[in-house]
Structure 1
Amino acid sequence: MSFVLHVDAARWRAAQDAAAARYPGVVPVVKGNGYGFGRDLLCAEAGRLGASTVAVGLYAELGPALDAFAGDVLVMEPFRARVHDDLARLDARQQADAGRGVHTVTSAVDLEALREVAPRARVVVEALTSMNRFGAPVAEVADLAHRADAEGVTLHLPLGTGHVEEISRFVDAAPDVRRWYVSHTSPGELAELARRHPGRELLPRVGTSLWLADPAAHEVRAHVLDVRPVGKGEHAGYRQRPLAPGHVVVVSGGTSHGVAMESPASAATPRARAVAVVEGLLEAAHRVTSPFTVGGRRVRFAEPPHMQCSLLSLPAGGAVPSVGDTVPVRMRLTTAYPDAVELH
């Protein structure tokens, strides 16, 4: 357990509590890698917050979430007959758990297929928003919700604000639907929607703003596994790249932990595009800055990270760590798979 996410439990939970207060009726999202904390831990935290429902991303996450959480589990991935029919046949498991699994549908065809394999499946309808990913068009939502005897409608919105009018179009088009699950909607927008649509239950699905609300409450740390001095012209690694004088530092943490596994940058501004160009040039020159901080400064990879460890190039003159020391790692927790999560 040498690549560890350390969590200040009191501070982390205080941030959760503050976020939950801003989002009444919150449906915590516990999908994927559990935002670095792991889905089981987040399910336990959702229970601590008093949530009645959590949301997972995939059918493969449904069973473990039912085991880890006592309430309802909403699968946000829409049911597709040719993709999920075998998984839906496990609905007997859901019924044994008091029918706590909730499916998402976007079309009459998939609804009929779901009813064939899981006649008693609980259902919500997803509507097609400007996100343009999954969903039924606005003109079809009311009819599909009626045919499905749906418990509600879900709306997945783009990042940012300015969603009130778009959400209102769907609510107005389906006046008989009482429960609406919404994502990426600010507390102010929720308050305005409640004012405009009295009698509707607006349930915010929240992940990042709940679990990662206070970045200072958690830190990934890696152990130093080896340190050795190197001179000019020496080489290291699989690719035998030349090293600058100083030290090679071997640290825990590699691609299996999500190190250097970044999603494509949006580069939406001139500055962001310039940064992307510079980073590309540095990568071409084998001078990539790592996410590891040694001696108070970010250091470069000696070569791309290995599966479970990384080789770092520490220039001469810097503070040299010892084997067994820990160094902080700056990385996105949504792509992190630590060996362990320790709450302090």
Structure 2
Amino acid sequence: MSVVLRVDGARWREHLRRTVEANPGLVPVVKGNGYGFGLPVLLAESARLNGERLVRQIAVGTYAEAPTALAAHPGDVLVLEPYRAAVPPVPGGPGLAVGDPALIHSVTGLDDALHLAGRAGRARVVVEGLTSMNRFGAPYGVVPGLLADLADRGLAVEGVTLHLPLGTGHLEEVSRWVAGVDGVRTWYLSHLSASELATLRTRFPDRELRPRVGTAMWLGDPGALAVRAHVLDVRAVAKGDRAGYRQRTLGAGHLLVVSGGTAHGVALEAPSAAATLRQRAITVAEGVLEAAHRVRSPFTVGGRSTWFVEPPHMQVSLLALPAGVTPPAVGDEVDVRVRNTTLLADAVDIT
């Protein structure tokens, strides 16, 4: 049994190349589940792009990911989570040398930075500014003084990093930072559109802007990617038959057992944003259906969406196929819609 991420390798790699070439200084983000590919695949692709002189640096999410990245990627590795003296274990993953010359740390305050310097000496750091994202960062008015203090204490200050909310409309916020913080040549920026980056480069031709890109790089050409699950069993059922742990009543048709469950990230949901009236209405309608034990599954059979018999199991799901619909055969593959940031595929097949 398996859930497989199938990748059109030539098309996907062409997209990667176009993305990097269109964004000078691009820093690929390689973190978490590797956007469904797994970290080893993305690290190998980043190393290949480094070998072609297209990528110098990559970014990882946490210190726990840094040792693997440093071993696989020949360039610099930026850690996005801020260094915290008070968060054990510091620095994180076993075997990580905090002072590795290829490692770049994110800092948001002097005390943490001094703790880092005590462990790593002349550590390479970027200062994270507190943007409208309102997550990590030093406030705008604090950053100039912090930069000076870090330089005075002997840390190698490499620039400022800004993590912005999703969507557009960040041009003036970023411009305020870049124009107002003197002496900083290199800026790491996330979630900016191509037009916003182009405008910033025109406004600040003497600055080096390095976009940090994850989703738009690895998942930016959905047509090159497909997640498929194997059909493991097919059984004709009559109305009133029962199935599953919860013994739900079935209608006439077929019961399908397919690969893919919570262990693969199938049907795992983040809270709905519900930003529009339509999205709220959909959320309410889905809640009503769920209360009636009617939950649409992410599996598609013959172009037709299917319903869960019950919540997915750890590694398989039970699906109801109504009478009149031709069932697939055991061993066939069916499409499955899954968020790549939660996907844990059994295999990644790049052809």
TM range (shorter): over 0.9
Alignment partners' CA distance in 2, 1:172 and 1:88: 35
1:33-69 residue CA offsets vs partner (Å, 9 max, x unmatched): 1110111211222233321111111111111111221
Structure 2 counterpart of 1:248: 255
Runs of 4+ in 1 over 6 A off after TM superposition: 89-92
Unaligned runs of 5+ residues in structure 2 are 152-156
Structure 2 counterpart of 1:307: 314
2:64 aligned to which of 46, 50, 60:
60
Structure 2 counterpart of 1:70: 74
Structure 1 counterpart of 2:181: 174
Residues 168 and 182 of structure 1: CA distance in aligned 2, closer, same or farther (over 3 Å)? same
Alignment partners' CA distance in 2, 1:62 and 1:119: 18
Residues 230 and 155 of structure 1: CA distance in aligned 2, closer, same or farther (over 3 Å)? same
Alignment partners' CA distance in 2, 1:174 and 1:73: 24
More off after superposition, 124-133 vs 147-156: 147-156
* TM superposition score normalised by structure 2: 0.94
| AA aligned opposite 1:126 | E
Q: Secondary structure at the match of 2:81?
A: coil
1:183-219 residue CA offsets vs partner (Å, 9 max, x unmatched): 0011211121122222111000001111111111010
Structure 2 counterpart of 1:32: 32
8 A Cα contact 1:222 1:252, kept in partner: yes
8 A Cα contact 2:64 2:92, kept in partner: no
Structure 1 counterpart of 2:154: none
Tell me the number of residue pairs that the alignment of Structure 1 and Structure 2 aligns. 342
| AA aligned opposite 2:218 | W
Alignment partners' CA distance in 1, 2:93 and 2:295: 48
Alignment partners' CA distance in 2, 1:138 and 1:90: 35
Aligned-pair distance for 1:84?
4.3
8 A Cα contact 1:231 1:246, kept in partner: yes
1:133 aligned to which of 125, 132, 135:
135
8 A Cα contact 1:102 1:123, kept in partner: yes
2:340 aligned to which of 318, 324, 333:
333
Alignment partners' CA distance in 2, 1:266 and 1:43: 31
* TM superposition score normalised by structure 1: 0.96
Residues 85 and 237 of structure 1: CA distance in aligned 2, closer, same or farther (over 3 Å)? closer
How large is the Cα RMSD of the aligned pairs?
1.6
Residues 89 and 288 of structure 1: CA distance in aligned 2, closer, same or farther (over 3 Å)? closer
Unaligned runs of 5+ residues in structure 1 are none
Q: Secondary structure at the match of 2:21?
A: helix
Alignment partners' CA distance in 2, 1:180 and 1:12: 28
Residues 258 and 85 of structure 1: CA distance in aligned 2, closer, same or farther (over 3 Å)? closer
Alignment partners' CA distance in 2, 1:92 and 1:56: 14
| AA aligned opposite 2:339 | R
8 A Cα contact 1:3 1:253, kept in partner: yes
Structure 2 counterpart of 1:298: 305
In the TM superposition, 1:211-250 aligns within 5 A as 211-250=218-257
- Kindly indicate whether residue 280 of structure 2 is the aligned counterpart of residue 273 of structure 1: yes
1:155-207 residue CA offsets vs partner (Å, 9 max, x unmatched): 00111112121112112222111110000011211121122222111000001
More off after superposition, 325-334 vs 44-53: 44-53
Structure 1 counterpart of 2:110: 108
Alignment partners' CA distance in 1, 2:94 and 2:238: 61
More off after superposition, 330-339 vs 166-175: 166-175
8 A Cα contact 1:94 1:100, kept in partner: no
